[in-house]
Structure 1
Amino acid sequence: IRDELARIVGERAATDPHLHHLDGLDLYGAADHAELPLPDDLHPDPAAHRRIAERFAGHAFGLGGPFAPQEQ
């Protein structure tokens, strides 16, 4: 389902510059689970939340991100 969603967003983003997709595995993946496992196998603990938030902020607001400050 992740691949199909990325494909669809990729197609539609070609005509909609405001459509973006960020795969959740880029925020918290298998390596993260090995280091910061989900205590109840579903919800992140505070350390995992921090990691996810920092990565999201980097993707969303970092250079080239959809919410990054635009040059004027």
Structure 2
Amino acid sequence: MARITAQRAADDPHLHHLDGLDLYGEADSAELPLPGQLHPDTATHRRIVERFVKRMFSADGPFAGPTS
């Protein structure tokens, strides 16, 4: 997916790829296992969202706001 997204992003600057393992990976599973090994609970959702926001909306993220 990352390779394909990078190729297509050359023609579409609004196309971005974020690997889900950057949001919740193997190390997270040890600390916050998924109930039923399927759906995140509240604490896990919070971690995923915090990481998503940090990666996507930080100063160098693809959705960074305008700088003044």
Query: TM-score under structure 2 normalisation?
Result: 0.91
User: 1:64 & 1:70 partners in 2: Cα distance?
Assistant: 11
User: 2:25 & 2:33 partners in 1: Cα distance?
Assistant: 10
User: 1:25 & 1:7 partners in 2: Cα distance?
Assistant: 16
Compute the RMSD of aligned alpha carbons.
Answer: 1.1
Runs of 4 or more above 3 Å deviation: none
- Residue in 1 aligned with 2:4? 8
Are 2:52 and 1:56 aligned? yes
- Cα shift readout 1:7-36 (whole Å, capped 9, x = no counterpart): 100111122211101010000000000110
Tell which deviates more after alignment, 7-16 or 28-37.
Answer: 7-16
| Identical-pair percentage | 66
Aligned length: 68
